[in-house]
Amino acid sequence: MFKKIGLWSMVLLLLVLAACSSGEKTASEEESKKEDKEKTEVKQETVAETRTVEHLYGQAEVPMNPEKIVLLSHVSWEGSLVSVGVKPYAVMAYDNEFPPHLTEELEGVTALPYVDEINPEEIVKLNPDLLIISDRYKPLYDQLSETIPTVVVEVGGDWKEDHLKVAEAAGKLEEGKKVIESMEKEAEEIGQRIKEKVGEQTFMAVAINKKDIRVYGKTNHATNSLLFDDLKLTPAENLPEDFGENISIEGLVKYNPDHILDVSYFNSGEYYDSVTEGEVWNNLNAVKNENVHTLSTTWGFWDPIERQKGLKEIEALLLGE
């Protein structure tokens, strides 16, 4: 009889253990399913957190708040990012140096070669969550846009359009608009004070390059819009109607402005000296009247940071402030 009781006890014990094991397995499976569901929901939420940005070549689905932006352009759109509180991850650098007006703001940013053709593999290695490029890099767009959210901006005559598109790509469109509004107000005030002092005296911007002279025109360039749209200065006679032209030393004879704004990047060298020490240059009214104003902001005024610094520098040069 005791043997039978012992046998039944063992059977009951095995049944209890089996039930416990089954319950633990069921709980484990439920927990696993719950974790999988949560992961799926997080993944779906992450995928959904994008927005559509219209750009030159179509549309791009970009992250709501991109954190690793690579920007490729021969003009300083990185200043647009900085102006709205966004620090890019990597940008192009000329001779491994960032634009002089952005050296502090871009400290720690990865410097990429300033070249016309870019190896797409080098960009992939950076693993960006947003790529902003100028229209000259269409081959790069064709190769990478399927795997990396890419916004293409056309380098045009209106710096504001470029600035706003870069800001929009970074998710900072409203902030970008406020930057423009603030700058327009400041430029109007500075321009009024300059006009009160110089009246209708004429202005021309030049950049003496290594082999020729760039004379900036009246429209379709950020420098031109700074002088003649924002500050509303009077352009010199015979200035090109468009963005400008490159001329020889002899070509200067058809211009005779009251003021010259020298935005040369290199204010030295054999060709620079041959221009500024030559007869044609020294016969210009602006030179004879000591109204050549040499600016240190010389990157083209395509971004708000340089434009603001340029405004302050022009204010100081022309108003002695």
Same fold across 51-171 and 193-319: yes
Kindly give the confidence (pLDDT) of every residue in the chain, 321 residues in length, as a single tens digit, with 9 standing for 90 and above.
444 445 445 544 444 444 445 554 454 556 655 565 554 444 444 457 999 999 999 999 999 999 999 999 999 999 999 999 999 999 999 888 999 999 999 999 999 998 989 999 999 999 999 999 999 999 999 999 999 999 999 987 799 999 999 999 999 999 999 999 999 999 999 999 999 999 999 999 999 999 999 999 999 999 999 999 999 999 999 999 999 999 999 999 999 999 999 999 988 899 999 999 999 999 999 999 999 999 999 999 999 999 999 999 999 999 986
Q: Break the chain into its structural domains and give their ranges.
A: 51-171, 193-319
The CA R_g of the chain, rounded to the nearest whole Å, is: 31
Which pair of structure tokens corresponds to residue 157?
Answer: 């005559």
3-state secondary structure of 60: strand
Residue 243 near residue 266, CB atoms below 8 Å: no
- Per-residue pLDDT, 89: 98
- Per-residue pLDDT, 12: 47
Query: For the residues of 71-140, what is the DSSP string, one character each?
Result: EE-SS-THHHHHHTT---SEEEEBTTB--GGGTTTTTTPEEEE--SS--HHHHHHH--SEEEEEGGGHHH
Superfamily designation of domain 193-319:
Nitrogenase molybdenum iron protein domain (3.40.50.1980)
Which pair of structure tokens corresponds to residue 60?
Answer: 């791009």
Superfamily designation of domain 51-171:
Nitrogenase molybdenum iron protein domain (3.40.50.1980)
Residue 85 near residue 312, CB atoms below 8 Å: no
pTM of the model: 0.82
- CB within 8 A of 260, min separation 6: which ones? 203, 204, 205, 206, 284, 286, 287, 291, 292, 293
d(CA 103, CA 106): 5
- Per-residue pLDDT, 28: 55
- Per-residue pLDDT, 172: 98
Residue 229, burial from CB neighbour count under 10 angstroms (0-12, 13-18, 19+): middle
- Per-residue pLDDT, 2: 41
d(CA 89, CA 107): 11
